[in-house]
Amino acid sequence: MKIGIISTYPPIHCGIATYSSYLIKELQRLKNRVYVVCHKGGEGMDCSPVFNADDPDLPHKAFKAMMEFTPDLVHIQHEYGLFGKQNGMNVIPLAYKFKLSRIPTVITLHTVLEECSYEEQVIEKALADISDAIIVHELYQRELIKKRTGHQDKVYVIPHGVRDLIPVSKAKEGLRLERKRIVLLMGYFRRSKNFERVVKIFPRVTESVDNALLLVASGARMPEDISYQEEFLEDVATSAVKDKIKVLLGPFSHNKFDLILSAADVVVLPYLKGGQSGILAHCHAFAKPAVVCSEVTAMANLVQKARSGLVAHTDSELAEAIITILTEKNLAREFSENARAYVEKHISWKIIASRHMDVYNKILKNRHPPGESYD
């Protein structure tokens, strides 16, 4: 099968780029030819980096480049903002171009919010109408799409995939943090991630765990996030326990990213809003216990389903959850084992790619008469 993917793509530093690269690798192992049309900066075999997010003619550029590959179907990886101004509304005419050309189109909505802005509602409804299949990561997101757009049969739930790997050995030594109990905040700075909440409660953690260290591995990817990064660093500088907080500013190489995550004893995701998290997926890959906040339903649901960490509703609960994982070794070990088992049974990239193929084959079967091949 010839599959076209439209997405950000490595070496661009972006969670969607990473997601797409792992999915594509597994699709290729299933004997598919995969073509990528992406933002300028992406690289690789069968990869065409032809547009910038703010190009007014983005739909024309992406469509023209993809059609040169004559794909059997096109899969758009959607995140608000990846396709220009007004929350990336240029994805709508792009999707229409494929529909008018009778190219089956799958769209993954990586962020499905419980409360949408007007612009987000318009884009979500349009994409659901245009596409042959919509993929979301959680069952509750499917219910939201059904309620808001009226579509049901074309919406599929496929979780965020996770790497099957072995953590880096002696990672704490590699970071010169031996004998520290590491609480990790990781991922790009963004105001909605609410990292300062952990800085605020960290004195309470250090009162109970003397060798606790808050390790922050982050960086501002977008210009609008620089001010938040500066505010966060000021919060760190004025913290009463600033000597127990270490900040590493990215971006990080693949090896450095793995080293940092391997060193963590617990990973905290204090997000205020969002859908799936690439960092939470990596927590499961590295079998790291996680603490998430109840504000993001998707992450709370995943941690509870996998039994791989704790969910906090308040600042007090957040501090207690971190302390519990740092001090109760048997519980931490149980969370790690549960995370590893959940990956193997449900969300390894091998499994996730196979589920994508089921969707692709279903919509292509509906498009082709019996006996007609599209391989």
Per-residue three-class SS string for 79-137: CCCCCCHHHHCCHHHHHHHHHHCCCCEEEEECCCCCCCCHHHHHHHHHHHHHCCEEEEC
Q: Is the pLDDT of residue 324 over 90?
A: yes
| Mean pLDDT score of the chain | 93
Q: Given pLDDT bands bounded at 50, 70 and 90, which one contains residue 13?
A: confident
Centre a 10 Å sphere on the Cβ of residue 85 and count the other Cβ atoms it contains: 12
3-state helix, strand, coil in the chain (%, to 5): 50, 20, 35
Residue linked to tokens 């049969």: 153
Contact of 214 with 199, CB cutoff 8 Å: yes
Supply the DSSP symbol for 245.
E
Q: Is the pLDDT of residue 6 over 80?
A: yes
**How is domain 171-346 classified at the CATH fold level?**
Rossmann fold (3.40.50)
Domain ranges of the chain: 2-161+348-367, 171-346
Instruction: Return the percentage of the chain with pLDDT > 90, whole number.
Output: 81
* Alpha carbon distance 96, 94 (integer Å): 5
pLDDT tens, 67-93? Answer: 999 999 999 999 998 999 999 999 999
Q: Given pLDDT bands bounded at 50, 70 and 90, which one contains residue 165?
A: confident
Report pLDDT for 375: 47
For residue 263, give the amino acid letter. Answer: A
Q: Given pLDDT bands bounded at 50, 70 and 90, which one contains residue 196?
A: very high
Q: At what angle do helices 196-208 and 315-327 cross, to 10 degrees?
A: 50
Q: Is the pLDDT of residue 347 over 60?
A: yes
Q: Given pLDDT bands bounded at 50, 70 and 90, which one contains residue 275?
A: low
Report pLDDT for 374: 47
Supply the DSSP symbol for 253.
-
For 45-60, what is the mean pLDDT?
95
Centre a 10 Å sphere on the Cβ of residue 237 and count the other Cβ atoms it contains: 10
Q: Do domains 2-161+348-367 and 171-346 have the same CATH topology?
A: yes
**How is domain 2-161+348-367 classified at the CATH fold level?**
Rossmann fold (3.40.50)
